[in-house]
Amino acid sequence: MKRISMMGCPNVGKSVLFSRLTGVNVISSNYPGTTVDFTKGYTRIGGEKFELIDVPGTYSLEPISKAEEVARTMLQEADIIINVVDATHMERNLYLTLEILGMKKPTIIALNLWDEAKHIGIDIDVRQLEKLLGVPVVPTCAITGEGVKALTLKLRAAKQSEQIKPMTEEERWRKIGEIIRKVQVVHHRHHTIWEHIADITVKPATGIPIAMIVIFLIFLFIIQIGNLIIEYLMDPIFYNYYGPWIVEFVTAFYPEGLVHEILIGNSTLESLNFTQSFGLLTTGLYVPFDMVLPFVVTFYIMLSLLEDTGYLPRLAVLVDTGLHKLGLHGSAIVPTILGLGCNVPGALATRIMETEKQRFIAATLMAIAVPCMAQSAMIFGILGKYGMRWILMVYGTLALLYISLGLVLKRIIKGESPELLLEVPPYRKPDPVTLLKKTWTKAYGFLVEAVPFVLLGVFVMNLLYISGVIELLSGLFSPVLTTLLGLPKEAIVALIMGFLRKDIAVGMLLPLGMTPQQLTISCVILSTYFPCVATFVVLLKELGIRDMLKATGLMLIVSLTVGVLMRAILI
């Protein structure tokens, strides 16, 4: 099978074009411009099947970071290159184009954002551009799909450029100047309403209040819509249909005994008890599907909106000053926000930070103080009924930890903290199809990752209970838990479970009959003491064993200290 690599600068619409060209079976989703992970899919053009690769966006092939190295390798391994060029920023996009054409691979150019270029008054002579570059050029508008068909039809005409030779940097810039003069005419530009909004949202006096409102609205939306989905869709399904059916079904085969216990716990037709029965087919499915999935879906819709409209980089600019005090810079908002969804992509996204010091700080702060959506959903679930202030106390404590730890780490970790340098793209209308596809990929990814772990966790816990190991451990750890933290010694089960999955671990606090104070302390400790195993593995790969040991030590110390302090204040 031939391989097509799609290459281009960041923010040229490569992902949208990619999802236009590929079917649904796309492997691994990437966060535009943030990680070196790439996306791979398949496409059928003229009866032939191709492998299509969405190469991470870079401005150049010069290896200044991992992203360019990866891009260069992928270029060399490809049979055909589709170079996606932003028609509204030809000048700087052509640098990469000339580098690619110098590599002598069959290439075709998609001149994307063609609609946008026309809209703001940029005329480009496509025929002339083709002649100067020596490869086919097809104007496209990825969001409407215009020109995409023409692009696939012309794919076979992709060829090596005769005109463009490998050249030095100065020669390239000179050549670009020449090309631009010959093919591009810019008419009078009028300030659009979106440009005014763009300015308002990045000026501090207006931008900071707007950012606060946006963040507040996003959280409100996630919580409200998540709750609506639970109330009107998931709960009815579980309580009216699935619950009674599964109880009857299991009871028909195993009226009682060990298997009955493990499968549905103490659920009965009268009391389904999904949250506390701790059966594989009751709690094990109810927690991920009913209590967590609705929030995960709404979270990823909001995240995609933030990404695709172009608001995220503006947020990065506004928080840059503050994050500098923590040894980071504005871009660190990306791993933090991703971490609020799931710590695994959050950990991967720490790669956008330039130095080892910044990566360590970003990763450690995320692992300690940023609870994932699955965990948050459960925290809302168990603390919500005691009132908002307990939830605020959990998040307030975590935010305080994020800041104070950052202040300390900035001082004690050696290394450099470089400054922000970031393109702030214009606001764009997000494409609903791409948005839904992205959300689907991530929600699906959540289910595939979470459900097996939850089930495994529930199963192992059942075995540990039955074999008496839990009793042993809770006896062993009871000095720490009861004396230091003021928690019942049975809380050890949640801490054990927390190594596997944080959501179900929070759920395990429910049957222990704790006070809201104890629950609050437990939630904070569960967030901070150790990342879940999936995050741990990724962090180990990203940071290396030495830094990971440092981070882990820090987590344990911080968690215990905060727990003891909270106990002194609350209980």
* Residue numbers at the binding site for other proteins (CB under 8 A): 9, 59-60, 62, 64, 88-89, 91-92, 95-96, 120, 169, 173, 189, 198-199, 202-204, 207, 313, 316-318, 320-321, 324, 329-330, 418-426
Residue 428 interacting entry, from other proteins, ligand GDP, none, C-beta within 5 to 8 Å by type: ligand GDP
The DSSP call for residue 290 is I
Tokens of 546: 């030495």
Residue 424 interacting entry, from ligand GDP, other proteins, none, C-beta within 5 to 8 Å by type: other proteins
* Least distance from ligand GDP to the Cβ atom of residue 355, Å: 24
Residue 193 backbone dihedrals phi, psi, to 5 degrees:
-60, -35
Contact in structure between 304 and 438 (CB atoms under 8 Å): yes
Residue 203 interacting entry, from ligand GDP, other proteins, none, C-beta within 5 to 8 Å by type: other proteins
Tokens of 468: 């008496």
When the beta carbons of 108 and 318 are compared against other proteins, the nearer one is 318
When the beta carbons of 26 and 497 are compared against ligand GDP, the nearer one is 26
When the beta carbons of 166 and 384 are compared against other proteins, the nearer one is 166
* Least distance from ligand GDP to the Cβ atom of residue 358, Å: 22
* Least distance from other proteins to the Cβ atom of residue 355, Å: 14
* Least distance from other proteins to the Cβ atom of residue 87, Å: 12
Which residues lie below 8 Å from residue 430, measured CB to CB, with a gap of 6+?
304, 305, 308, 309
- DSSP string for 44-75: EETTEEEEEEEPPP-S-SS-SSHHHHHHHHHH
Greatest pairwise CA separation for the chain in angstroms: 83
Q: How many residues does the chain have?
A: 571
* Least distance from ligand GDP to the Cβ atom of residue 112, Å: 5
Q: Would you give the end-to-end CA distance of the chain in angstroms? A: 66
CA–CA gap between residue 176 and residue 566 (Å, rounded): 62
Residue 239 interacting entry, from ligand GDP, other proteins, none, C-beta within 5 to 8 Å by type: none
When the beta carbons of 156 and 324 are compared against other proteins, the nearer one is 324
CA–CA gap between residue 115 and residue 140 (Å, rounded): 8
When the beta carbons of 224 and 321 are compared against other proteins, the nearer one is 321
Residue 276 backbone dihedrals phi, psi, to 5 degrees:
-120, -5
When the beta carbons of 105 and 329 are compared against other proteins, the nearer one is 329
Residue 91 interacting entry, from ligand GDP, other proteins, none, C-beta within 5 to 8 Å by type: other proteins
Tokens of 308: 């695709």
Residue 466 interacting entry, from other proteins, ligand GDP, none, C-beta within 5 to 8 Å by type: none
Q: Tokens 């992970």 belong to which residue? A: 37
Residue 124 backbone dihedrals phi, psi, to 5 degrees:
-125, 130
Residue 15 interacting entry, from ligand GDP, other proteins, none, C-beta within 5 to 8 Å by type: ligand GDP
Contact in structure between 41 and 71 (CB atoms under 8 Å): no
Which residues lie below 8 Å from residue 520, measured CB to CB, with a gap of 6+?
383, 390, 393, 394, 566, 570
* Least distance from ligand GDP to the Cβ atom of residue 17, Å: 7
Give the Å distances, CA to CA, from 167 to 64, 89, 163, 170, 177.
Answer: 18, 22, 12, 8, 15
When the beta carbons of 94 and 458 are compared against other proteins, the nearer one is 94
* Least distance from other proteins to the Cβ atom of residue 195, Å: 8
When the beta carbons of 31 and 295 are compared against ligand GDP, the nearer one is 31
Residue 290 interacting entry, from ligand GDP, other proteins, none, C-beta within 5 to 8 Å by type: none
